[in-house]
Amino acid sequence: MEMNLVAIWHGMNNLVRAVVIVLTLQALACIYVAIDRLFLLAVSYYRGRKFARRAGPLLAAGDHEGAVDLARNHRGSHLAGFILTGVETFAKQQRRGNSAAKTAELAGRALERKTEMLSDDLNKGMNILASTGSTAPFVGLLGTVLGILNAFKLVRRQDSDGIGTISVAITEALIVTGYGLMVAIPSVLIYNWLSGRLATYEAGLAHAKSELVDTLEAGAATSARGDVASSSEAGYDDQDVPVVKQHAAPVSTTA
């Protein structure tokens, strides 16, 4: 059956047209969100890999200042934001004299707050996809109901009970339900796919966060052990040797 969409549009009453406009706006919003999230993921993966290749050796060597400077030059990378937040918080708490365990715990808390903010940013607009997928079929059904009511009004107005008069109007009304399904089904599929990709990306960042905290804590513990060893050696040279001499002097005099 050949359908003339322009003729169908002109045959609809204003209420059905309003329903079609709402469905069209929902479809356009879903397209925008899908493109925006796909672009965000692609750029984030690229920037994250680029930053990791350069920051990994610096963190492994304990060059925290170099990692912070590098992160500041990669503001668009989520991974760089994690490194910047974690290392800066860790260094700040170290300067306050906190222990390695306490400093690592506070850095972990700062990264948890950063994770929550990042999750909100990554999932921005996903509620539009979810809402459209769940409501578009019912919006289309509403348009069909309104169209059928309009069809019966046309029959009564024309004083005709012929099937041809009502069948055309009902066909036009049913198209709105089909349009609602066409909007809803892709929205649900895109929402599920994007949710999986975003969850995978967030899991990777969470793994990087835990590795960063472990690296900082291990580095602080190693530095603390080195400081204790240096202090012990200094104490032996300055205090233990004089004590030995004091005990030796009386022995030689008595002899």
Q: Pick the residue with more confidence: 184 or 69?
A: 184
Establish if 255 belongs to a structural domain: no
pLDDT recorded at residue 81: 83
* For residues 224-233, average pLDDT: 42
**Total-model pTM:** 0.73
Number of domains observed in the structure of the chain: 1
- Across 106-115, 144-153, 187-196, 214-223, the highest mean pLDDT is recorded for 187-196
Establish if 112 belongs to a structural domain: yes
3: left (phi over 0), alpha (psi -120 to 50) or beta: beta
Question: Do the Cβ atoms of 188 and 133 come closer than 8 Å?
Answer: yes
Task: Please write down the HEC assignment for all residues of 1-20.
Answer: CCCCHHHHHHHCCHHHHHHH
Q: Does pLDDT of 177 surpass 60?
A: yes
Domain region containing 14: 5-250
Question: Do the Cβ atoms of 62 and 91 come closer than 8 Å?
Answer: no
Establish if 220 belongs to a structural domain: yes
pLDDT recorded at residue 35: 95
Q: Does pLDDT of 26 surpass 90?
A: yes
Establish if 124 belongs to a structural domain: yes
Dist CA 41 CA 5 (whole Å): 37
Radius of gyration of the chain (CA): 35
Question: Do the Cβ atoms of 131 and 1 come closer than 8 Å?
Answer: no
pLDDT recorded at residue 241: 33
Establish if 125 belongs to a structural domain: yes
Q: Pick the residue with more confidence: 100 or 141?
A: 141
pLDDT tens digits along 84-112:
888 888 878 878 877 777 777 888 888 88
Establish if 214 belongs to a structural domain: yes
* For residues 193-207, average pLDDT: 89
DSSP assigned state of 56: H
Dist CA 208 CA 75 (whole Å): 17
Establish if 245 belongs to a structural domain: yes
pLDDT recorded at residue 182: 94
Establish if 93 belongs to a structural domain: yes
Dist CA 171 CA 16 (whole Å): 13
List the single range of 86-90, 129-133, 167-171 with lowest mean pLDDT.
167-171
